[in-house]
Structure 1
């Protein structure tokens, strides 16, 4: 049995039996005690389990499992709430639309509704991009707590194209405007041939759960600098947020 599979099985058993000691765990799983111990230590290092406080000894789950479950639930909930709205947004703008969430320093596409225009730029579901170089990424970055935002910015801003904003002060000023309600706009910062516009999707309690965007081939950049797109985006985001 692979080490990874053993660790996952051990994690599952800890969740069922917690608090549980290594001897009881090894006997239940028919594993050598040394193998069970290695798996437990690996899971502890990864932050999934910890030693229970006295008086009852043994291994228990940390809150990491809850955090992961909440992220998965949030992603599923946002997708379900947004799907028909994204289709209407595509129809209203004539362009492709994305629904995204943040994972670490990246923005991840979790749903796409493609334009019917025969000339399009295909960016598939699951695509990951740096937060600072995309419209949805800037929206998500703008709405982080200041400490989180600064940590990401201070770690460095990769130059992806000639247009990518890599100056921290310039990016912070842009993020301040987005946080105040301005639609995010990116023109050739991730790829030379793409422009995009984005707004946040809020939960009812206030935190931003994701962002939606309209993206276009750069040669089709709108004459109004995206004002009509941004109006449609804000209407769509309001409907999704209300559903959440």
Structure 2
């Protein structure tokens, strides 16, 4: 399941090669997991597999029960208290990113995103932070190969432009979103890396675009990066 989660959507042949196991062995394991509701197909002409929502739900419950949620919550609180802005913790689910925890800002005008809100990896600051940290470039290209949707007038709808933005994200160490996903909302996100330097989640700040455009973005990125590093060191998703 870890390999499926890291490569999803993935075919049996590719998974067998990655694991160094016979294709028939992997096929049997896949079918058993699918029958149990842990994996699902993509519904495309060529059968590919991804983690199911049931597995995601269990994973989120594990986050809350493992102590990581408490670690993340404390770090999120520190960021929220220093910025007065809304702070979110998000995890990858296939080609999307899903918000699993949040602390609302304390300002009278603030952003609000419900738990469980999802967005394509390429469009939100959390998703871009995760996508830019993926070591397997073929995974990034596969995500972008599906094309991109224009969510607002500010959205990057050209794949080449998104590739360039992901490269800038890698170089500066944090992702930006200036009203490209939700109208009038700006965001900044950083990836939370596990002990093998793989992106497992993202921490982000969101705010009205009017404040975002005046904000000290590098300073906010530093706060998020320090918090993300502490979360990654003290807990593992």
TM above 0.5: yes
Q: Is the 8 A contact 1:93 1:232 kept in 2?
A: no
Q: What residue in structure 2 maps to residue 241 of structure 1?
A: 232
TM-score, L = length of structure 2:
0.71
Q: What does residue 113 of structure 1 align with?
A: 103
Give the match's secondary structure for 1:151. helix
Deviation of 1:48 after TM superposition, in Å, equals 3.7
Root-mean-square deviation over aligned CA pairs: 2.5
Aligned to 2:174, which of 146, 170, 183?
183
Distance 1:154 1:101 in 2: 21
CA contact (8 A) 1:100 1:212 kept: yes
Please say if 1:205 is aligned against 2:196: yes
Equivalent residue number for residue 126 of structure 1: 116
* The structure with more radius of gyration: 1
| SS of the residue 2:189 aligns to | strand
Tell me, what secondary structure is at the counterpart of 2:105? coil
2:34 to 47, 55, 63: 47
Question: Unaligned regions of 5+ residues in structure 1, if any?
Answer: 1-42, 50-63
* Offset at residue 133 of structure 1 (A): 1.3
Tell me by how many angstroms 1:44 deviates: 3.7
Equivalent residues, number: 187
Q: Matches of 1:74 and 1:151 in 2, distance apart?
A: 28
Which residue of structure 2 lines up, in the alignment, with residue 167 of structure 1?
158
| 1:169 Cα deviation from its structure 2 partner | 1.3
Query: What is the CA–CA distance in structure 2 between the aligned matches of 1:73 and 1:124, rounded to whole Å?
Result: 17
Relative to structure 1, is the Cα distance of residues 72 and 215 closer, same or farther in structure 2, using a 3 angstrom cutoff? closer
User: Counterparts in 2 of 1:212-223, with a 5 A limit?
Assistant: 212-223=203-214
Report the counterpart of residue 42 of structure 2 in structure 1. Answer: none
Match among 136, 146, 149 for residue 155 of structure 1: 146
Given candidates 174, 180, 183, the residue that maps to 1:192 is: 183
Question: Which sections of structure 2, spanning at least 5 residues, go unmatched?
Answer: 1-29, 37-50
2:89 is matched with which residue? 99
